Amino acid sequence: MKLFTLMITLACISAVSTLQSQDINALMKGSKVVGGGISVSFSDDEFEPDAFDPDQIQTSDFTSFSFRPYAGKFIKDRLLLGGRLLITASDQESTIRDGIFSSVNESDEFNIGLGVFLRKYYPIAGKFGAFVETGVDFRTLNSDSKRSSFNDQNPTTEFSTERDGSLVTADIDLGLYVFLGERFSLETSLGRLAFIQSWEDITRRDLFQDTTNESSTERSNFNINFINQISFDQLITVNYFF
């Protein structure tokens, strides 16, 4: 899929390379922009028994939602200063049944974050060009999960895990844009370099034994990504200028 996305990108570059270069008023000082994307995905799967384990049946149900709006103002020609919001939520449940034995895994997650960014646009040809963006984001992370086992529908084990944390990201993005008229544009990210610092408090409970274990973690790492994953809110961003 990444190769396919790269081929589309190169085709777009080739298609617009013959256009006559022109000024774009929307990128000039004083202009404003709102943009972002929404992603909704879900799946409901059932795996039928096979010849090696005819009594086993697996089911999985997953839903996720993300909302990534942002707004900004051009403080100089082709230099955009903006703020952004990130909201993501997901819910998953999976079940494995094997005769009278079964296990159920449930999890849900909710994250919200705020950030600021500075983006520089570089026209290439016509209404097509590239941009470089640097920004800082702060997010809160919350998730809950539970794992249960049953014997003939009688519970035998049950564990729960709660995670609460925060994350700070400083990143640099490289991408492409193309205007569809005077006020609308499409953008896509080609690569991202990010430094991520995270903190997390974890509470694990054995609900049968009535015991609790608490721990904390702190991590820092660099991420390098080329060509975003295939999802509307990340691969293609829609912008409106005014």
Q: For residue range 151-169, what is the model confidence (pLDDT) as tens digits?
A: 877 888 899 999 999 999 9
Distances (CA, A) of 31 to 70, 80, 222: 15, 9, 34
Token couple for 216? 């904390």
Cβ proximity of 106 and 146 under 8 Å: yes
Give the rounded percent of residues in the chain with a pLDDT score beyond 90. 50
Tens digits of residue pLDDT in 126-146: 889 999 999 999 999 999 999
User: Residues 78-102: what's their mean pLDDT?
Assistant: 90
Assess whether pLDDT exceeds 60 at residue 65: yes
Averaged pLDDT of the chain: 83
- pLDDT band of residue 52 (cuts 50, 70, 90) is low
pLDDT of 235: 57
